[in-house]
């Protein structure tokens, strides 16, 4: 659930009318609900009660410092995929011993920064990376804590761009090579083998893929023990979906499916939820510029664009789009909701049935907390939107709208001779 609701036909973020925010901040902007964020973390964490576990928030979903600080205060660790994300964690005072570093392309500088910070473990995804971590650790006179990420070779039934557990994915070590990878790692004195990791994708709404991945990694843990390789951590990744249109299982059901095949292994369980924490805790607010009607099509042109929220065009993703003020609905129309960017792919919805809005009306694009602002860009030299968090009746701007000076920071004008 979330804390965006209508009161007297006005959409509220907790105790604040979104229309009031739009008057103060102007559109477009992202607004997050602190109450929703707290609830989502608490419900997810409590689903694993009774199990030695650590919830490492996958911060690639939404990485604003204030939100990271909130999760850290509730006991969260972090799943990172870049040195920039590591620096964000350190900036808000996160415990490095609760940070897991994933990703297939870590540089020497990133590996060194992670080791210097003293993070919990590095999830290694290839043989060259295994040796690169050992080399960097050797130069630093460190012993690097590593986990090998296993690709379990299964189809999680999600969009191909966010499916990471199938055989032809770039992620993880193939099942057929896991044992030899661990044997090789155990022979490298600069490495401390502490765990095994897997992650099969995102926005998964069925439990069977999680259970199957659990069975496969449990078998690997058994073989490693027989070979004398003892682990401390079992990182089962994330991937639980949220209700854009579909109805995914509850975190409690997810936890039962995930834990059943690995029960009795005696390892600390690490999970990496991202979208399920923040997706429905955020809304993108935009204003209608024009209603355009051609002989074949109707368009609602808004001031938000694909540079603000790219999910509809990148993933063919569905987002509910609702009026901020629903007191005076127009006639029902079928329209494309599009932005001003100079691309045919700049749309939020195709052939969407809706109450026709008037020019100047506010629309709320729901479930925009995950992979919204973090994937935004300055395409068409558009400044990125501000981020706002509401906590009860309190409003905090946690990222200012970018200015023109922000857009050109770092650029240099040089005088080039004409041809």
Assess whether 79 and 197 both reside in one domain. yes
Q: Which residue, of 241, 275, 309, is where some domain finishes?
A: 275
Residue 161 included in any domain: yes
Tell whether 160 and 257 lie within a shared domain.
yes
Q: Which residue has the higher pLDDT, 248 or 33?
A: 33
For residue 398, give its domain range.
4-32+279-408
Mean pLDDT for 147-157 is 76
* Span 4-19, average pLDDT: 98
Task: Establish if 416 belongs to a structural domain.
Answer: no
Kindly state whether residues 17 and 80 are assigned to the same domain.
no
Same structural domain, 123 and 241: yes
Q: Are residues 131 and 242 in the same domain?
A: yes
Let me know if residue 415 belongs to a domain.
no
pLDDT, average across residues 383-407: 98
Q: CATH no. for residue 395?
A: 2.40.37.10
Q: Residue 156's pLDDT is what?
A: 53
Count CA within 13 A, CB hemisphere, residue 336: 18
pLDDT at 91 over 80: yes
Query: Residue 85's CB: how many other CB atoms inside 10 A?
Result: 21
Domain-ending residue, one of 275, 290, 308 = 275
Q: What is the 3-state secondary structure (H, E, C) of the chain?
A: CCCEEEECCEEEECCEEHHHHHHHHCCCEEEEEHHHHHHHHHHHHHCCCCCCEEEEEEHHHCCCHHHHHHHHHCCCEEEECCHHHHHHHHHCCCCHHHEEECCCCCCHHHHHHHHHHCCCEEEECCHHHHHHHHHHHHHHCCCEEEEEEEECCCCCCCCHHHECCCCCCCCCEEHHHHHHHHHHHHCCCCEEEEEEECCCECCECCCHHHHHHHHHHHHHHHHHHHCCCCCCEEECCCCECCCCCCCCCCHHHHHHHHHHHHCCCCCEEEECCCHHHHHHHEEEEEEEEEEEECCCCEEEEECCCCCCCCHHHHHCCCCCEEECECCCCCCEEEEEEECCCCCCCCEEEEEEEEECCCCCCEEEECCCCCCCHHHCCCHHHCCCCCEEEEECCEEEEEECCCCHHHHHCCCCCCCCCCC
Closest C-alpha to 299, from 360, 379, 367, 357: 357
pLDDT score of 419 more than 90: no
| Residue at 92 is within a domain | yes
Tokens coding 219: 């078998």
100 located within any domain: yes
Tell me the pLDDT tens digit for each residue of 366-383. 999 999 999 999 999 999
Q: Looking at the structure, tell me whether residues 301 and 185 fall in a common domain.
A: no
Q: Does any domain span residue 171?
A: yes
Burial group, residue 155, by CB count within 10 angstroms (0-12, 13-18, 19+): middle
Final residue belonging to a domain, choices 226, 254, 275: 275
Q: How many separate domains does the chain show?
A: 2
Confidence of residue 1 (pLDDT cuts 50, 70, 90): confident
Same domain (yes/no): 327, 404 = yes
CATH number at residue 198: 3.20.20.10
* pLDDT tens per residue across span 255-281: 998 899 898 899 999 999 999 999 999
User: Are 258 and 308 within one domain?
Assistant: no
Question: Looking at the annotation, which residues are catalytic?
Answer: 342
pLDDT in tens, 160-186: 443 444 455 677 788 888 988 999 999
Contacts of 281 (CB under 8 A, 6+ apart): 2, 32, 33, 36, 37, 40, 369
Report the percent of the chain where pLDDT is more than 70. 96
Query: Tokens representing 187?
Result: 């022979």
| Residue 161 pLDDT | 41
Question: Would residue 156 count as lying in a domain?
Answer: yes
What pLDDT sits at residue 82?
A: 97
The pLDDT score that the predictor gives to residue 162 is 39
What is the structure's pLDDT at 154? Answer: 67
The pLDDT assigned to 279 comes to: 96
As a whole number, the mean pLDDT across the chain is 92
Q: Are residue 63 and residue 115 in the same domain, yes or no?
A: yes
Q: Is 58 in the same domain as 194?
A: yes
User: Is residue 418 included in any domain, yes or no?
Assistant: no
Q: What percent of the chain has pLDDT over 90?
A: 79
Per-residue CA distances from 154 to 127, 157, 209, 325, 419 (Å) = 21, 9, 7, 45, 57
Say what the pTM is: 0.93
Residues 193, 127: one domain?
yes
Give yes or no for residue 158 having a pLDDT over 50: no
Residue 111 and residue 65 share a domain: yes
């Amino acid at each position: 659930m979330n804390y965006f609701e209508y009161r007297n036909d006005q959409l509220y973020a907790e105790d604040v009318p979104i229309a009031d925010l739009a008057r103060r901040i102007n559109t477009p902007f992202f607004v997050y609900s602190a109450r929703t964020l707290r609830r989502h973390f608490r419900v997810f964490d409590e689903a694993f009660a009774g199990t030695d576990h650590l919830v490492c928030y996958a911060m690639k979903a939404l990485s604003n410092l204030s939100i990271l600080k909130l999760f850290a205060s509730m006991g969260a660790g972090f799943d990172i995929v870049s040195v920039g994300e590591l620096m964000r964690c350190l900036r808000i005072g996160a415990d490095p011993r609760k940070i897991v570093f994933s990703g297939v392309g870590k540089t020497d500088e990133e590996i060194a920064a992670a080791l210097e910070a003293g993070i919990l473990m590095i999830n290694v995804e290839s043989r060259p990376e295994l040796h690169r971590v050992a080399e960097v650790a050797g130069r630093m006179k460190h012993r690097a804590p590593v986990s090998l990420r296993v690709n379990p070779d299964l189809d999680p039934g999600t969009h191909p761009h966010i499916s990471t557990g199938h055989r032809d994915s770039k992620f993880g070590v193939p099942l057929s090579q896991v044992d030899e990878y661990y044997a090789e790692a155990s022979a490298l004195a600069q490495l401390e083998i502490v765990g095994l990791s897997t992650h099969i994708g995102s926005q998964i709404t069925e439990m069977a893929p999680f259970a199957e991945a659990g069975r496969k990694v449990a078998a690997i843990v058994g073989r490693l023990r027989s070979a004398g390789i003892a682990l401390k951590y079992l990182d089962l990744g994330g991937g639980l979906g949220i209700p854009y249109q579909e109805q995914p299982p509850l975190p409690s059901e997810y936890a039962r499916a995930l834990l059943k095949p690995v029960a009795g292994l005696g390892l600390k369980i690490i999970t990496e939820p991202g979208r399920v924490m923040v997706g429905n805790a955020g809304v993108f607010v935009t204003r209608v510029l024009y209603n355009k009607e051609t002989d074949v099509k109707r368009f609602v042109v808004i001031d938000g664009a694909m540079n603000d929220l790219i999910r509809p065009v990148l993933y063919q993703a569905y987002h509910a789009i609702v009026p901020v003020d629903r007191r005076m609905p127009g006639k029902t129309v079928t329209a494309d909701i599009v932005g001003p960017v100079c691309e045919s792919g700049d749309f939020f919805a195709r052939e969407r049935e809706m109450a026709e809005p008037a020019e100047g009306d506010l629309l709320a694009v729901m479930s925009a907390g995950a992979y919204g602002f973090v994937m935004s860009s300055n395409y068409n030299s558009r400044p990125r939107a501000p981020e706002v968090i509401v906590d009860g009746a309190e409003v905090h701007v946690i990222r200012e709208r970018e200015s023109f000076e922000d857009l050109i920071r770092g650029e240099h004008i040089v005088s080039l001779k004409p041809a």
